Structure 1
Amino acid sequence: MTIAERISVARDAARAGADVAADNFRTKLIIEKKDAKTDVVTQVDRDAQTAVIESIRATFPDDAIVGEEGDALKMVPENGAAWVIDPIDGTNNYVRGTRTWATVVAVVCDGVTTAGVITLPELNDDYWTDGESTYRNGSRVSVSETADPEAGVVSPTMWWDFDSRDEFGNACQAVVDRFGDLRRIGSAQAALASVADGSLDGVITNLRTNPWDTLAGVAMVRAAGGTVTDIHGDTFRHDSVGLVASNGVIHSEALSAAQSIGNPDATTK
């Protein structure tokens, strides 16, 4: 099938998962913890992921699916077609009733992201990319033109747990030392979509990220004219350490900020 057809399936799947999550938003939830006090999950995450998978499987029953919850694959295959999904990116926001959370679907072929969808139902924003351009609610968007770092707004993303709280402090300090302002979005994919549409100038982390937290948004930033690298300044891919996404103009400063955080071999968060 064509990229356009796969994007159509991805958008339908993201909407199916987002509908499940939205129907349960700001209701009484049973919150479970994974590996850390801030790493939470609910049954809604699982139900939304099931809805996404069922929607994809209706058209592509044999494609690999990589996802955060349950027994979905956790690594992106280097060969063949795959779908990388996150039913609720920003679960901490979700369980607190904060509206910035997303349902995400990325389309991958031979390890390369070719398209992606990020749906933020409570904000009424629907982003997608075909790898050539990025769109928000049907209109093409592009990264900011901010050239002066001191006028820039950058987000330290992912989460530094209590055993690496010094790195969290370093990340915030690195941003405020170099840029005009700092944002903590609480959803990595929403932050990346914000770089793609120009409402943020950059996103940084020194951590090894999960593919469901990054791939769709990374593709959007690139297609919107931005730059995305790992912590060493090399092209970002699904198994990279660190993530630096920017409008391209301030990328050297954003990379410097990420490199000053700490351990470049940090484990996945």
Structure 2
Amino acid sequence: MDYVAMAEMVREWVNEAGDILRESLTDTSIKIEEKSAPSDLVTEMDRFIEAFYVNKIRENFPDHKIYGEEGTYDEINDLSGFIWIIDPIDGTLNYVKQKSNFCTMLTLFNDGEGVLAFINDVINKRVYHGVKGHGVRCNDEILEPVPNHTLKDGLVALNTKMVMLQPETSNKIVKEALGVRLIGSAGLEMVQVLTNRVSAYVTTPLNSWDIAPGYMLGTELGLCFTRTDGLPINLMEKNPIIIANSTTHQEIVSKFIN
């Protein structure tokens, strides 16, 4: 299968999804619901964008499996075969409250290995995408590998639950880094690491749709992407994660395991 040709087609889907989401920001009639908590929201657009991707995948790749955040699931017991992982709006709370700082994400795995990934920074019209073996791009500009550097030489992003639930470890990381920056969208936090705007993104457990594209793109760029204890990611379950260059990654893992 020609992944490069496939990526060109899928990029059109992701661009179209971005157009739809930008247009939706002026629609005050969109319904908003709570899921697990007042800060965990779902909107009509989450479901609409997921259905949009699902229809495209079913039409072009009917034999592929789909795993989507808003309930579009095939029976997936392992990572064998082709599996699409969909996060229609990553940062739904930001989408609702800020009208900014959200993205739409789509990733394809083949036998557990990421082969295509897309993170559309919708407001800024920047699509971060990669094909296995062909590098990572922002729109049409190739991203350079992130230079290796220490924790004290860069900024970090930690999600708020990490700070609340693991304050001692979080404090160790923050004290050593230059500072903390947080957006509130896992996809966009991972983009900050891909582009070397922050040195690391560290979180409490996230679902596979939250991390799948960053996992593929980060791996393609040569970054380290593991659980906080340094063990490999398991996309069949939630994972607390670290994405960072190798030196910063090792320094942060040591704070969790020592």
Q: Does 1:166 align with 2:164?
A: yes
Aligned mates of 2:42, 2:194 — CA distance in 1 = 28
Residue matched to 1:216: 213
Paired residue type of 2:9: V
Structure 1 residue 171 displacement after superposition: 6.2
Which residue number corresponds to residue 201 of structure 1?
199
- Aligned equivalent of 1:112: 113
Aligned to 2:147: 145
* C-alpha deviation, 1:226, in angstroms: 1.0
Runs of 4+ in 1 over 3 A off after TM superposition: 73-77, 168-172, 256-260
2:155 alignment partner AA: V
Q: Classify the secondary structure of the residue corresponding to 2:71.
A: coil
Contact kept in structure 1, 2:25 and 2:99, CA below 8 Å: no
Residue aligning to 1:187: 185
Q: Is the 8 A contact 1:156 1:171 kept in 2?
A: no
2: CA distance between counterparts of 1:67 and 1:45?
10
- CA offsets per residue over residues 59-97 of structure 1, 9 Å max, x none? 112211111013334857421111111110111110012
Which amino acid letter does the alignment assign opposite residue 16 of structure 2?
A: A
Aligned residue runs from structure 1 range 2-17, under 5 A = 2-17=2-17
Percent identity reads 24
Instruction: Label 1:220 to 1:252 Cα distance change in 2 as closer, same or farther (>3 A).
Output: same
Structure 1 residues 95-119: Cα deviation after superposition (integer angstroms, max 9, x where no partner): 0124211111101111221120111
The one-letter code sitting in structure 1 at the alignment partner of 2:244 is S
2:256 and 2:45 map into 1 onto residues whose CA distance is 33
Q: Distance in 2 between matches of 1:99 and 1:229?
A: 28
Aligned-pair CA distance for 1:156 = 1.2
Q: 1:117 to 1:131 in 2, by over 3 A?
A: same
| 8 Å CA contact retained: 1:231, 1:244 | yes
Q: What root-mean-square deviation, in Å, do the aligned CA atoms of Structure 1 and Structure 2 show? A: 2.3
Unaligned runs of 5+ in 1: 261-269
Counterpart residue number, 2:54 = 53
Q: Taking structure 1 as reference, are residues 19 and 41 closer, same or farther at Cα in structure 2, changes over 3 Å only?
A: same
**Which residue is equivalent to 2:25?**
25
Q: By how many angstroms is 1:198 displaced?
A: 1.3
Task: Check whether the contact 2:90–2:102 (CA below 8 A) recurs between aligned residues.
Answer: yes
Q: Which residue in 2 is equivalent to 1:62?
A: 63
TM-score for the superposition, normalised by structure 1: 0.86
Moved more, 140-149 or 48-57: 140-149
TM-score (norm 2): 0.89
| Contact 1:106 1:113 (C-alpha < 8 Å) held by counterparts | yes
Q: Report Cα offsets for 1:195-245 as digits up to 9, x if no partner.
A: 1121121111232x2111111111111212211111221232413632111
SS at match of 2:60: coil
